[in-house]
Amino acid sequence: MDPGLRRLGCKRVIVFVAGNDVLRFRGWYYERELKKSGWIGEVKVVEFGGENHVFNLGKPDSPKAIEMLKLLAYFLNG
**Domain assignment present for 8:** no
Instruction: Check whether 48 has a pLDDT greater than 80.
Output: yes
Which alpha helices (H) appear in 1-78, and where do they start and end?
A: 24-36, 55-58, 63-77
Average per-residue pLDDT for the chain: 96
Percent with pLDDT over 90 in the chain: 92
Tell me which residue range forms the domain holding 48.
13-77
- Look at residue 78 in the predicted model and tell me its pLDDT: 86
**Domain assignment present for 71:** yes
- Look at residue 74 in the predicted model and tell me its pLDDT: 98
Mean pLDDT, residues 7-28 = 97
Percent with pLDDT over 70 in the chain: 100
Contact between 14 and 46 (Cβ < 8 Å): yes
CA distance linking residue 55 with residue 51, whole number of Å: 6
CA distance linking residue 27 with residue 14, whole number of Å: 10
Mean pLDDT, residues 9-28 = 97
SS3 state of residue 16: strand
Output 1 or 2, whichever has higher pLDDT: 2
CA distance linking residue 56 with residue 76, whole number of Å: 18
Q: How many separate domains does the chain show?
A: 1
